[in-house]
Structure 1
């Protein structure tokens, strides 16, 4: 479940907190509270509710619930957040009633009252918000699973694309006459790619090392077929253990480079692949080629959809007139 708040979440919270604030205003009116209490207490309640919900959604739940690190610590921190925000609200309310803060209830009662106040103020909006997020996540899972089923046949077909095979056979035909040794290497690399695609067709994720082996073989085919039109540079000076990617992710990124960039004159297509602890980033210079409507990055769209099921993070795309950059998150199962 993605705990980051979207536009509809903010609207929902605004409605809940707004309605609650109106009820508080009505209650203050019925009890004849002073103007100072209106001015101080209501904004304090709103501020404390926003702070508590923000801490839950952006810090506590992503780091302690979704990653399943320490449920006991999660409970302790949740109680602390509710108690702290409730205590501050009660203290401000005590002061706004023109009471001497030095006469505030003893510490254990003040903390207990703060916990009750925090739970009362935050419990309802947070509960409704989490219910909404859970429903949205389940709906998204069903939608993506349906899309994945529809894409499975397309994925298998793209892996065994007759055009891909036809182009490689043409390249082989030329190599056999001009460079028999390289033709043997080409056949070996091509067979390794097809073996990998067939063996992993049912796997959601694969080791980063295996994906990079696929990338090496795929880049060899590209450079053999197109000569030095496409140049690749890979920085992989990290430990690949316990690092995974969606199966075929690297191939999809390389296909995107070749599919959307053609060499014009001396303007070679330069592509760099950088791998750090958390991301794989592919950057290439753009050629001025107008893509057709049926080739507008469907591979990247499918890759984004797969990440919605596999990771909290999603691919990041940055594009300028001269450069295209995409970063995909590395999946770590130990988390």
Structure 2
């Protein structure tokens, strides 16, 4: 079952609704049941109607809109209507000391009357939630379009292309077999970028495979100046975790761009993953020559994760290590619709690769 979590603005909407509704409802109660009974009836209305609306908006509706849970949600809807009618009938009967026997017709009448009671708040909160979803969708589409432009720019980055084509030219002259293998990895890297440029998420398996191709290219440029280590879950779990495509490329580029590596003392960059987070860490070893950087890479990554997942990435750069942690999402599992997880080129638990 799916349970949506009310936001702070949802709670504020409900809190703002009831003072206005109380000003309209309470005088009617007071005319009929002056004194403590009127106040008790008003309090019961607030509690019962709020509970009903939260059950509908954050429980029943998300499940009714999800095919996987729709039948179960329809059953719960019947339970909800029955409970709604009973609580409405017996609750007000006890508070107002007017016991009304329950019959099928009376129960239907109570369900309808209660629906009229909480209907305004339900419509208000549902409309507000719909507006919020539309706003997030617009922001996500805007961020995705901007991200796609950045990804396309990265794909045709003249410096990146020049460096790799220059390496390829040298290999062709001295080692045609190695050049053929290098070209294969180079093509795989660009194939991944093109294949996933329109997607918001990819499996962690695919992202790690992309990192393997990227590491292979960097090895031919920097030799053993950089060393990569991976600490990962079991291979089967990797295909069930989702990450924003290009995350590792950006974090690895960021580490190499700003930190010096040495063949005798390589910079160790560690990629760690759990069921909820992906972390890239390395010692802080700033290059002697200042690096021209606008700092937009991590800022853009942070914005995209926040819009797509509602979770922020964390960056720790004040200590001896520079650590970036991004959230991982668990892949939904409707029967017959999951992409099959692929075996990663990396070992499951630990791997070390020098660049």
Q: Normalising to structure 1: TM-score of the pair?
A: 0.75
The answer to whether the Cα contact below 8 Å between 1:40 and 1:92 also exists between their aligned partners in 2 is no
The answer to whether the Cα contact below 8 Å between 2:60 and 2:73 also exists between their aligned partners in 1 is yes
Instruction: Go from structure 1 to structure 2 and tell me whether the alpha carbon gap of 1:130 and 1:65 turns closer, same or farther (over 3 Å shift).
Output: same
Q: Which moved more, 1:88-97 or 1:138-147?
A: 138-147
Q: Which moved more, 1:122-131 or 1:223-232?
A: 223-232
Q: Which residue of 2 aligns with 1:18?
A: 19
Q: CA deviation at 1:233?
A: 0.4
The answer to whether the Cα contact below 8 Å between 1:234 and 1:274 also exists between their aligned partners in 2 is yes
The answer to whether the Cα contact below 8 Å between 1:229 and 1:263 also exists between their aligned partners in 2 is no
Q: 5 Å matches for 1:13-52?
A: 13-31=14-32, 33-52=33-52
- 201, 216, 224: which one aligns with 1:220: 216
The answer to whether the Cα contact below 8 Å between 2:200 and 2:245 also exists between their aligned partners in 1 is no
More helix by percentage: 1
Distance 2:38 2:268 in 1: 65
The answer to whether the Cα contact below 8 Å between 1:207 and 1:245 also exists between their aligned partners in 2 is yes
SS of 2:270 mapped into structure 1: strand
SS of 1:27 mapped into structure 2: helix
Q: Which moved more, 1:174-183 or 1:281-290?
A: 174-183
Q: CA deviation at 1:177?
A: 9.1
Instruction: Go from structure 1 to structure 2 and tell me whether the alpha carbon gap of 1:236 and 1:202 turns closer, same or farther (over 3 Å shift).
Output: same
Q: Give the unaligned 5+ runs of structure 2.
A: 336-355
Distance 1:243 1:295 in 2: 30
Instruction: Go from structure 1 to structure 2 and tell me whether the alpha carbon gap of 1:298 and 1:175 turns closer, same or farther (over 3 Å shift).
Output: farther
1:256 aligns with 2:251: yes
Q: Which residue of 2 aligns with 1:271?
A: 270
Q: Which residue of 2 aligns with 1:328?
A: 328
The answer to whether the Cα contact below 8 Å between 1:242 and 1:332 also exists between their aligned partners in 2 is no
Q: Which residue of 2 aligns with 1:126?
A: 122
1:154-173 residue CA offsets vs partner (Å, 9 max, x unmatched): 32111221222234346557
Instruction: Go from structure 1 to structure 2 and tell me whether the alpha carbon gap of 1:257 and 1:120 turns closer, same or farther (over 3 Å shift).
Output: farther
Q: Give the unaligned 5+ runs of structure 1.
A: none
Q: Which residue of 1 aligns with 2:157?
A: 161
How many equivalent pairs are there? Answer: 320
Distance 1:171 1:22 in 2: 77
SS of 1:41 mapped into structure 2: helix
1:237 aligns with 2:218: no
Q: Which residue of 1 aligns with 2:190?
A: 194
Question: Higher relative CO (CA 8 A, sep ≥ 6), structure 1 or 2?
Answer: 2
SS of 1:194 mapped into structure 2: helix
Distance 2:311 2:169 in 1: 38
Distance 2:202 2:297 in 1: 26
Q: Which moved more, 1:112-121 or 1:259-268?
A: 259-268
The answer to whether the Cα contact below 8 Å between 1:44 and 1:89 also exists between their aligned partners in 2 is no
Q: CA deviation at 1:186?
A: 3.5
Root-mean-square deviation over aligned CA pairs = 3.9
The answer to whether the Cα contact below 8 Å between 1:223 and 1:231 also exists between their aligned partners in 2 is no
Q: CA deviation at 1:193?
A: 0.8
Q: Which residue of 1 aligns with 2:83?
A: 84
SS of 2:213 mapped into structure 1: helix
1:182-212 residue CA offsets vs partner (Å, 9 max, x unmatched): 6654433222212333344455665654443
Q: Which residue of 1 aligns with 2:301?
A: 300
Distance 1:267 1:85 in 2: 67
Q: Which residue of 1 aligns with 2:341?
A: none
